[in-house]
Chains A and B, each alone.
Chain A
Amino acid sequence: MFVYLDNSATTKQYEEVNESILQMMKFDFGNPSSLHRLGINAEKAVKEARKNIAQSIGANNDEIFFTSCGTESDNMALFGVSEARKRRGNKIIVSEIEHPAVLEPCKKLDKMGFNIQYIGVDTKGFVNINALEEAIDDKTILVSVMHVNNEVGSIQSLDKIKELINNYNKKSGTEILFHTDAVQSYGKLPVQTSYADLITLSGHKIHGPKGIGVLYIKKGINIEPYIYGGMQERGMRSGTENVPAIAGIGKASEICCKSLKTRYNTMTNVKKYLLEGIKNEIPDIKVNSPYENCISSVLNISFLGVRGEVLLHTLENSDIYVSTGSACSSNKKANSHVLRAMGLSDKEIEGAVRFSFSEFNTIEEMDYVLHHLKKGVSQFRKLGSFR
């Protein structure tokens, strides 16, 4: 049995998505900038996709900008805002558990002279709202907190954070912007323009293609582009549009958002089933994902006394695909910064495995996974106890 439980890494494309991509590649292959009919057909496809994305989050079409991936959208938001607003202040506030697509640009911005403040999380992976409130000051130009964490699934209270910022702006006359990376939540939970001023989305986490991302920028906010050229995407992101991928993300968004609830319910059920099974049948585990306010697509568990990576390769032998909290080689430990920020011990991080679900997973699959998981854990624990 083939069981794919790494949907937070990437997802399988919908058949309809494949078809619309193929259509653009085989027939409507024109350049949207060309004046002839072929160009216009391509432009129409881009327009249609833009409309689908905009509708899915309640935005206007001209607030949607296509990029090459979620990482580029995050970079565009951080560098674009800091460049455009460097005269107003130099402080940027982010959480410790952001994706590297946010943290690495922050490191660079730090070197460029910006003051980056990192906000910690509690043991369940929720951003410390009080610390965030205290951090906001007149120097602050941008706050970036992800909607759902990719490793443990904690859903951050964006409404509270947005309210905090709004209140501060009202009180102090500042114009602090709020960006959220909604790559993990989009297509599973409602994502709305009211959540933030800038929102990052990605194609391949919603059964769309890789190589396509979106940045929503609220009307009236000017950020500095950092790719210059033929003025595509209204000058915000030059470069010939990736038309097939844009058509693909448009189609994926349409399907995902139409059936949001039923799809999400499937994930909730399989996650619940697997979690109960693991809790009942495998001793010495630690559930790292929160029980409340956690997305149903992510389940992170530490199997104490086993190395996550070894478990991963064992499961892979049975055609089960998961991911781990640490990519380890004993010389160099590349432990998850998220689990570390949550205060997990090295042993707990080493044994962490992430299962991430999609609507295609079934209860039957979970039984199969449980069987092999149990076998693998006990086999390697036996060996581990000699060390």
Chain B
Amino acid sequence: MEDRNTFIVRCGEVALKGLNKPYFERMLVERIKKVLKKFENTEVKRHEGLIFVRTPEDLNSEMVIKEISKVFGVASISPAVETVSDIDEIGNAAVEYMLDIINKRGIKTFKVNAKRADKNFPVKSPEIGRIIGAKVLKGCKVLKVDVHNPECMLFVDVRRDKSYIFEQKISGFGGLPLGTNGKGMVLLSGGIDSPVAAWMMAKRGMLIEAVHFHSYPYTSERAREKVVDLAKLVAGYCGNFKMHIVNLLPIQEMIVQNCPEEETTILVRRFMMKIAEKIALETDCGMLITGENLGQVASQTAEALIVTDESVKMPVMRPLIALDKVDIMDIAKNIGTFETSILPYEDCCTVFLPKHPTTKPKLAKILESEGKIDVDKLIEDAIAIKEVISIYPD
């Protein structure tokens, strides 16, 4: 045994790709290397359809697993013990491995699940299971076999040069490696939905860039800090990205002073989309991503979405469109953005909120209202004074 920690990383959907499989696997290895770069002396290798990660022994395994599990395309991870592929050696390693687990968790029952990936190995899978099981029973007196409900499932994976012993399969998020599916511009607010939308698209391999709208001084610097914090959390999955920060206040002021009150929200939405599209075109993003969700608020009724959608030519991805709010909240909790999202700071959507926003806007009327203000000039001015910041995970 080496004095290194070994982790077996299994690819999810990547494995289904035909001729492109090596490309996807390579991208996946690159991503894992990237997230582990902050730890010194780690090694990531592709081998027989699996990815093996080896880290220094004194590096906290939990931290390594946490980072790898954030990589899209990873189906599961197992911290494993590596041994030479010899039935006696495997048996000895298994006994040592189980003694350690007994020590830590005081388990009483186990079951062996053996697999022979190397069909040239002289012992067949069921036989491996029996031999290892007998060795463990002899070496660990407190243990009994329970084939139905074992406290520990001992996996033995026998391969050509090396074999692996492990018990856990920690699920990853699945999906496809980042960078295998274009780049999208996400409209990131401070709410629950948009970080989830960005995460979902990135999970399918899309690189992201973000635009955030604020209404300073109607919104505070804390609200902006909150969005940066959210973006950093998202960057933990999606890698570093750029965030464009645009002050909407001059546009909101113009709308408030010239257009019907009940149309404020939908008009502002259209401005946001148009500005996002314009920045997207300048930054090689092929589509927009929003956290819109059918029927959630007045600006997300079917009628409102039709009017919003009409404002841009670029395809708009709305990955949350048919989810229930509770489901979105569950994802947000799962990926760790929820707690930050619910911090109570004013965001630009709630500023100038009309008392009774229109839920069934008519495109013709909205276009007429837009005709009262100089849309192009306002957009140009807003973009001219935008800020761009680089987002890195903490």
Contacts and interface: CB of A to CB of B under 8 A. Distances in A.
Nearest to B252: A383
Nearest to A317: B217
Interface in A288-326: 307, 309-310, 312-314, 316-317
A330 B219 CA distance: 11
B299 to A, nearest CB: 15
A77 to B, nearest CB: 31
B301 interface: no
A386 B255 CA distance: 11
A101 interface: no
Given A383-B253, A386-B256, A387-B256, A330 B218 contact: no
B296 interface: no
A280 interface: no
Contacts of A331: 344, 350
Contacts of A111: none
Contacts of B351: 330
A334 B346 CA distance: 12
Q: Which of B217, B218, B344, B346 has the most chain A CB within a 10 Å cutoff?
A: B217
Contacts of B61: none
A330 B353 contact: yes
A383 B256 CA distance: 8
Contacts, number: 38
A255 interface: no
Interface residues of A, number: 17
Contact of A313 (B216, B253, B353): B216
A328 to B, nearest CB: 7
A317 B220 CA distance: 11
B20 interface: no
Contact-size category for B: 10 to 19
A332 B346 CA distance: 9
A386 B220 CA distance: 22
B257 interface: yes
B344 A329 contact: yes
Interface in B336-374: 344-346, 350-353
A330 B346 contact: yes
B217 A316 contact: yes
Given A386-B256, A386-B257, A329 B217 contact: no
Given A329-B345, A330-B353, A332-B344, A310 B218 contact: yes
Interface of B: 216-221, 253, 256-257, 261, 344-346, 350-353
8 contacts: A307-B218, A309-B220, A313-B219, A329-B350, A334-B344, A387-B256, A387-B261, A387-B352
What 5 A-B pairs come out closest when comparing CB atoms? Answer: A313-B217, A329-B346, A314-B217, A330-B350, A329-B344
Given A313-B217, A329-B346, 19 more contacts: A309-B346, A310-B217, A310-B218, A312-B217, A313-B218, A313-B219, A316-B217, A329-B344, A329-B345, A330-B350, A330-B353, A331-B344, A332-B344, A383-B253, A383-B256, A386-B257, A386-B261, A387-B256, A387-B352
